[in-house]
Amino acid sequence: MKLHEYQSKQIFAKHDIPIPPGRVATSPEEARAIAGELGGRVVIKSQVLVGGRGKAGGIRLAKNQREAEKLAREVLGMQIKGLPVRKILVDKAVGIETEIYFGITNDRTARKPVMIASAAGGIDIEEVAATTPEKIIRAHIDPLLGLQNYNILDLAIGIELPREHWRVFNQIAKGLWNAFQGSDATLAEINPLVITDDNQLLAVDGKMVIDDNALFRHPNITEMRDITTENESETEALKHGLTYIKLEGEIGCMVNGAGLAMATMDIIKHFGGEPANFLDIGGGANAEKVAMALRIILKDKNVKSILFNIFGGITRGDEVARGILKALEEIKPEIPMVIRLVGTNAEEGRELLANANMITAETLAQAAQKAVEASTRVIEEV
Amino acid sequence: MSIFVDKDTRLVVQGITGREGLFHTGQMLEYGTSVVAGTRPGKGGEWVLDGKVPVFDSVKIAVEATGANTSIIFVPARFASDAILEAADAGLQLIICLTEHIPVQDMMRVRNYLDQKAVRLIGPNCPGLLTPGEAKVGIIPGDIAIPGAIGVVSRSGTLTYEVLYALKQLGLGASTCVGIGGDPINGTNFIDALALFEGDPQTDKVVMIGEIGGTDEEKAADYISSQMTKPVVGFIAGKTAPPGKRMGHAGAIVEGGAGTAVGKIKALEDAGVVVASHPEEIAELLKN
């Protein structure tokens, strides 16, 4: 789960990381009032969960209250990479001398969190890593011991931070680690951490991503979820214990298991089709779940045929068959459906579906070919 | 011979009284696995499955009472990391964790702790192990595989079943099938399993089933080209997965241009691995 900049900075502030004074606004009038409270120049920053806000014109500098209102009106009406701007952060503007990148993420290979700093801050860190890897300084953190002072020192020396800033940098590093660990984050990032023209360290931007699997122990963070930025069908699916991801193709897929679901999408492509979605109905899927999955797939109007690939293990073939029958009764889809059932209770499942007007297949390859064929036939008829 | 589990395996089931734990304990017993104990704090002294398996309050007591040498974990995600540590501290040397959705920071602490001990963890978020004809420790359906000389290692669950089933259709059997799980931090990786298959006299050929995300397949490719003599057939799921989207498994995501199927397939092919274009083709390639 991604957090907005303003949410991330609220968490940072709780952990003694200095941030510029500012507040969130949802209207130009509110932005004007906040600018008045802050006094002087302010930055109007769109709060959307995508990168590249600056380039898209979603971050603007206002000289006074009147300009703050005008720019807030412009930014609040924008769409950035398809996402409407509903909130803006109004921050006091600061004069910037130096921009530093500072973040923590998990290093899968080392199986440890890694703290990363770079003197080349303010821009896309992945690009810095690709073009000038020597400018990226890393310190791995032992997850059992936690962040140590010498880890922070290594980074400060590595980015040639002037000594006068070491004390505050140490405080910010510890705050960032506590924010990361205490929120079960998979990313906590300050980009940029700036040295201002009056020689202060300040986190002017912030980004956090929280581990979905750990949200159960962070109810306050779960409340921060911004569902307006998420795909409606994907959110609906999650509520029912299904993992659904919408894609651009025409063949809907319903599969049990993530690996098999990916392999099923791939084989559709292999035989010349395009998958319309990833959908994992999970283990032990019952009739209710299958019916819900079918409804979600059919909401996508690009879908021209559906492929069911169920390998029974925990999931039982007859249960899936009952779910399909129940869903068909309700929805009565007019597109061709191909089904392949193997494994636990597959025989019983196939018998149940014998009169359901579905195309059956023995192997996965056959099933994919038939689904691709069926989808093109429909297109020709149209 | 086989790797990890065989007729000498004495299994303790952590979380044996839960729905999944109980059902699959029954399945494992039916397969012939020697399940000697189960645990559930507060239910010590009870018996489950018509008096076939005794329940203990803790793994430590279960091990003392029954001489269990392997544990399988069915407990929910929020208690799973504790269950793994409990098994390790009770002296078990092989722990198989099936639990899905364990927070990544929990797994990082667990893995770093286990690295200081002589203990092997398989999983989490995996289907477990199957040595056809000898032992089933996990949830892989027993009837989809026959004994044979092909070692199977996989990051996925049902996709593995698909491959075992396709092998069986062509009369090909497996020595051991290992599900290493779909999480970003796990206990046993491809290289660990490949090394054991390379040294296992009963295994002639190896199947490796990977997916997008991380760099484990690329590292395995390096290992295969420098250390392995046995032929390996590979498959990578997720060629059509869009970047930045987590494809069901916590570990299956293409990030910052790394972890793509194309990159993994190329690394494997450069290492001399024959990579199948779809799951059923794996069996056809092994037949030849």
- Give tens-digit pLDDT for A73-125: 999 989 988 888 999 999 999 999 999 999 999 999 999 999 999 998 877 77
Q: Which amino acid is at A268?
A: I
| Nearest CB to B156; choose among A106, A126, A257 | A257
Residues of B in contact with A279 (CB under 8 A): none
For residue A33, give how far its alpha carbon lies from the nearest alpha carbon of chain B (Å).
38
User: Stretch A166-184: mean pLDDT, rounded?
Assistant: 98
- Is residue B132, in this structure, part of any structural domain at all? no
- Is residue A150, in this structure, part of any structural domain at all? yes
Note whether B141 contacts A344, CB cutoff 8 Å. yes
A318-322, A334-338, B135-139: which range is least confident on average?
A318-322
- DSSP 8-state symbol, B255: B
For residue A250, give how far its alpha carbon lies from the nearest alpha carbon of chain B (Å).
13
C-alpha–C-alpha distance, residues B141 and B164, integer Å: 10
In terms of phi and psi (left: phi > 0; alpha: psi -120 to 50; beta: otherwise), the region of A345 is left
- Is residue B185, in this structure, part of any structural domain at all? yes
How far, CA to CA in Å, does A240 sit from each of A72, A288, A293, B147, B172? 38, 9, 9, 38, 39
pLDDT of residue B152: 98
In this structure, the answer to whether residues A240 and A192 fall within a common structural domain is no
In this structure, the answer to whether residues B198 and B255 fall within a common structural domain is yes
Other beta carbons within 10 angstroms of residue B152's beta carbon come to 27
For Cα atoms A138, A143, A147, give the angle at the middle one, nearest 5 degrees. 55
Please report which residue ranges of B90-205 form alpha helices under DSSP H.
Answer: 104-114, 158-169, 190-199
Helix (H) or strand (E) holding A369: helix A364-381
- Is residue A3, in this structure, part of any structural domain at all? no
Which residue, among A331, A127, A179, A215, has the nearest Cα to B104 in the 3D structure? Answer: A215
How far, CA to CA in Å, does A314 sit from each of A344, B92, B156? 8, 27, 14
A189 is a catalytic site residue:
yes
- Is residue B130, in this structure, part of any structural domain at all? no
Which residue, among B156, B153, B106, has the nearest Cα to B126 in the 3D structure? Answer: B156
In this structure, the answer to whether residues B157 and B87 fall within a common structural domain is no
In this structure, the answer to whether residues B151 and B281 fall within a common structural domain is yes
C-alpha–C-alpha distance, residues A71 and A32, integer Å: 10
Choose the catalytic residue: A5, A6, A101, A319.
A101
Which residue, among B264, B269, B262, B95, has the nearest Cα to B186 in the 3D structure? Answer: B95
| Nearest CB to B250; choose among A213, A260, A363 | A213
Can you tell me whether residue A299 is helix, strand or coil?
helix
Note whether B249 contacts A144, CB cutoff 8 Å. no
C-alpha–C-alpha distance, residues A105 and A179, integer Å: 12
- Is residue B29, in this structure, part of any structural domain at all? yes
Q: Which of B68, B93, B122 is the last residue of a domain?
A: B122
In this structure, the answer to whether residues B144 and B283 fall within a common structural domain is yes
Global pTM reads: 0.93
- Is residue A15, in this structure, part of any structural domain at all? no
- Is residue A105, in this structure, part of any structural domain at all? yes
In this structure, the answer to whether residues B88 and B199 fall within a common structural domain is no
User: Stretch A355-377: mean pLDDT, rounded?
Assistant: 92
Percent of chain A at pLDDT above 90?
A: 72
User: Which residue is closest to B77 within chain A, CA to CA?
Assistant: A213
Determine if the peptide bond prior to A192 is cis (ω within 30°): yes
Average pLDDT, chain A: 92
Q: Which amino acid is at A359?
A: I
In this structure, the answer to whether residues B233 and B262 fall within a common structural domain is yes
Note whether A267 contacts B279, CB cutoff 8 Å. yes
pLDDT of residue B187: 97
Note whether A259 contacts B157, CB cutoff 8 Å. yes
Choose the catalytic residue: A189, A244, A250, A319.
A189
Note whether B280 contacts A263, CB cutoff 8 Å. no
In this structure, the answer to whether residues A218 and A237 fall within a common structural domain is no
In this structure, the answer to whether residues A239 and A376 fall within a common structural domain is yes
- Strand pairing report for A96-107 and A112-118: antiparallel
C-alpha–C-alpha distance, residues A364 and A202, integer Å: 56
Q: What is the CATH number of the domain that holds A134?
A: 3.30.470.20
Asked if the model's pLDDT at residue A344 lies above 90, the reply is: no
Percent of chain A at pLDDT above 70?
A: 98
Can you tell me whether residue B277 is helix, strand or coil?
coil
Inter-residue contact A225 to A159 (CB < 8 Å) = no
Which residue, among A270, A245, A247, A239, has the nearest Cα to A258 in the 3D structure? Answer: A245
pLDDT of residue A381: 52
Largest CA distance in chain A: 79
Q: Which of B52, B87, B122 is the last residue of a domain?
A: B122
- Residue A266: pLDDT band (50, 70, 90) is very high
- Strand pairing report for B232-237 and B205-211: parallel
Q: At B209, phi and psi to the nearest 5?
A: -110, 110
In this structure, the answer to whether residues A160 and A216 fall within a common structural domain is yes
pLDDT of residue A52: 84
Residue-number span of the structural domain to which B90 is assigned: 10-122
Which residue, among B132, B113, B186, B108, has the nearest Cα to B3 in the 3D structure? Answer: B132
- Burial grade of B231 (CB within 10 A; 0-12, 13-18, 19 or more): middle
In this structure, the answer to whether residues B268 and B188 fall within a common structural domain is yes
pLDDT of residue A121: 85
Inter-residue contact A194 to A12 (CB < 8 Å) = no
Residue-number span of the structural domain to which A43 is assigned: 21-92
Note whether B241 contacts A312, CB cutoff 8 Å. no
Q: Does A131 touch chain B (CB under 8 A)?
A: no
Note whether B240 contacts A109, CB cutoff 8 Å. no
| Nearest CB to B161; choose among A217, A266, A313 | A313
pLDDT of residue A382: 47
- Is residue B4, in this structure, part of any structural domain at all? no
Inter-residue contact A307 to A252 (CB < 8 Å) = yes
In this structure, the answer to whether residues A242 and A369 fall within a common structural domain is yes
C-alpha–C-alpha distance, residues A343 and A347, integer Å: 8
In this structure, the answer to whether residues A116 and A85 fall within a common structural domain is no
- Is residue A132, in this structure, part of any structural domain at all? yes
Residues of B in contact with A247 (CB under 8 A): 240, 242
Q: Which two tokens stand for residue B59?
A: 């793994």
Q: For residue B81, how many C-alpha atoms fall within 13 Å in the half-sphere facing its CB?
A: 19
Q: Does B227 touch chain A (CB under 8 A)?
A: no
Chain B, residues 106-135, CB within 8 A of chain A, namely 106, 108-109, 111-113, 127
In this structure, the answer to whether residues B252 and B192 fall within a common structural domain is yes
- Is residue A316, in this structure, part of any structural domain at all? yes
Q: What is the CATH number of the domain that holds A54?
A: 3.30.1490.20
Inter-residue contact B282 to B207 (CB < 8 Å) = yes
B249 is a catalytic site residue:
yes
In this structure, the answer to whether residues A209 and A168 fall within a common structural domain is yes
Note whether A343 contacts B165, CB cutoff 8 Å. yes
Q: In total, how many domains does chain A have?
A: 3
In this structure, the answer to whether residues A28 and A75 fall within a common structural domain is yes
How far, CA to CA in Å, does B193 sit from each of B154, B155, B161, B198? 10, 11, 18, 9
Q: Which of A51, A73, A92 is the last residue of a domain?
A: A92
C-alpha–C-alpha distance, residues B263 and B274, integer Å: 15
Name the E strands within A63-149: 79-80, 83-84, 88-92, 96-107, 112-118, 136-140
In this structure, the answer to whether residues A44 and A26 fall within a common structural domain is yes
In this structure, the answer to whether residues B145 and B173 fall within a common structural domain is yes
Q: Which of A53, A72, A92 is the last residue of a domain?
A: A92
- Is residue A7, in this structure, part of any structural domain at all? no
Q: What is the CATH number of the domain that holds B205?
A: 3.40.50.261
In this structure, the answer to whether residues A131 and A240 fall within a common structural domain is no
Other beta carbons within 10 angstroms of residue B23's beta carbon come to 15
- Residues B246-275 as b/e (b if ≥16 CB within 10 A, e otherwise) read bbbbbbbbbbeeebbbebbbebbeebebbb
- Is residue B169, in this structure, part of any structural domain at all? yes
Q: What is the CATH number of the domain that holds A304?
A: 3.40.50.261
Note whether A211 contacts B140, CB cutoff 8 Å. no
- Is residue B129, in this structure, part of any structural domain at all? no
Q: Does B210 touch chain A (CB under 8 A)?
A: no
- Is residue A265, in this structure, part of any structural domain at all? yes
Q: At B28, phi and psi to the nearest 5?
A: -70, -40
Q: What is the CATH number of the domain that holds B66?
A: 3.40.50.720
Q: Which of B122, B150, B175 is the last residue of a domain?
A: B122
In this structure, the answer to whether residues B204 and B282 fall within a common structural domain is yes
In this structure, the answer to whether residues B117 and B145 fall within a common structural domain is no
Which residue, among B189, B188, B192, B186, has the nearest Cα to B80 in the 3D structure? Answer: B186
Displacement of CA A107 from its chain's centroid (Å): 18
Please list the residues that pair with B243 across neighbouring strands: none
C-alpha–C-alpha distance, residues A12 and A208, integer Å: 10
Q: Which of A52, A72, A92 is the last residue of a domain?
A: A92
Please list the residues that pair with A339 across neighbouring strands: A308, A360
In this structure, the answer to whether residues A194 and A87 fall within a common structural domain is no
In this structure, the answer to whether residues B71 and B145 fall within a common structural domain is no
Q: At what angle do helices B190-199 and B216-227 cross, to 10 degrees?
A: 30
- Is residue B93, in this structure, part of any structural domain at all? yes
C-alpha–C-alpha distance, residues B63 and B92, integer Å: 8
User: Which residue is closest to B235 within chain A, CA to CA?
Assistant: A263
pLDDT (tens place) for every residue of chain B, 288 residues total: 478 888 889 999 999 999 889 999 999 999 999 999 999 999 999 999 999 999 999 999 999 999 999 999 999 999 999 999 999 999 999 999 999 999 999 999 999 999 999 899 999 999 999 999 999 999 999 999 999 999 999 999 899 999 999 999 999 999 999 999 999 999 999 999 999 999 999 999 999 999 999 999 999 999 999 999 999 999 999 999 998 888 888 888 888 778 999 999 999 999 999 999 999 999 999 987
pLDDT of residue A236: 86
- Residue A378: pLDDT band (50, 70, 90) is low
Q: In total, how many domains does chain B have?
A: 2
pLDDT tens digits for range A4-34: 999 999 999 999 999 999 999 999 999 999 9
In this structure, the answer to whether residues A249 and A372 fall within a common structural domain is yes
